[in-house]
A and B are shown apart, each in its own frame.
Chain A
Amino acid sequence: MTGPHAAYILAAYVVTAVVIAAMIARAVAGYRQRRRRIHELEAQGVRRRSQRG
Chain B
Amino acid sequence: MDRMEQAAPRTVSFWDYANPNRFLSMAGPVIMVLGALSVVLFALGLWMAFNAPEDYQQGATVLIMFIHVPASWLAMMCYSLMSLSAIGYLVWRHPLADVSLRAGAPLGAAFTLLALVTGSLWGKPMWGAWWVWDARLTSVLVLFLIYLGIIALARAVEDPATAARSLAIVTLVGFVNIPIVKFSVDWWNTLHQPASVSRFARPAMDTAFLYPLLVMALGYTVLFLTLHLMGMRNEILDRRIRSLAMSKAGKSTEGAG
Interface positions of A (Cβ within 8 A of B): 1-6, 8-9, 11-13, 15-16, 19-20, 22-24, 26-28, 30-31, 34-35, 37-38, 41-42, 44, 46-49
Contact = CB atoms under 8 A, between A and B. Distances in A.
B117 A8 contact: no
B44 interface: no
Q: Is the interface of B mostly helix, strand, loop or mixed?
A: helix
B53 interface: no
B118 interface: yes
Contacts of B251: 46
Contacts of A5: 59-61, 125
A16 B230 contact: no
Contacts of A4: 59, 125
Contacts of B237: 31, 34-35, 38
Given A3-B59, A48-B243, A24 B248 contact: no
B230 A42 contact: no
Interface string B229-257: 01101100110110111011001000000
A46 B249 CA distance: 10
B63, B107, B121, B251, most chain A CB atoms within 10 A: B121
B122 interface: yes
Nearest to B220: A20
B124 A8 contact: yes
A13 B231 contact: no
B243 A23 contact: no
Contact of B240 (A19, A30, A48): A48
Given A15-B117, A46-B244, A9 B234 contact: no
Contacts of B164: none
Interface string B176-213: 00000000000000000000000000000000000000
Contact of A12 (B110, B122, B233, B243): B122
Interface in B24-65: 50, 59-61, 63-64
B244 A48 contact: yes
Contacts of B110: 19, 22-23
Contacts of A35: 237
B244 A42 contact: yes
Nearest to B241: A37
B231 A27 contact: yes
Nearest to A16: B67
A49 B71 CA distance: 43
A3 B248 CA distance: 63
Contacts of A27: 227, 230-231, 234
Contact of A38 (B64, B106, B117, B240): B240
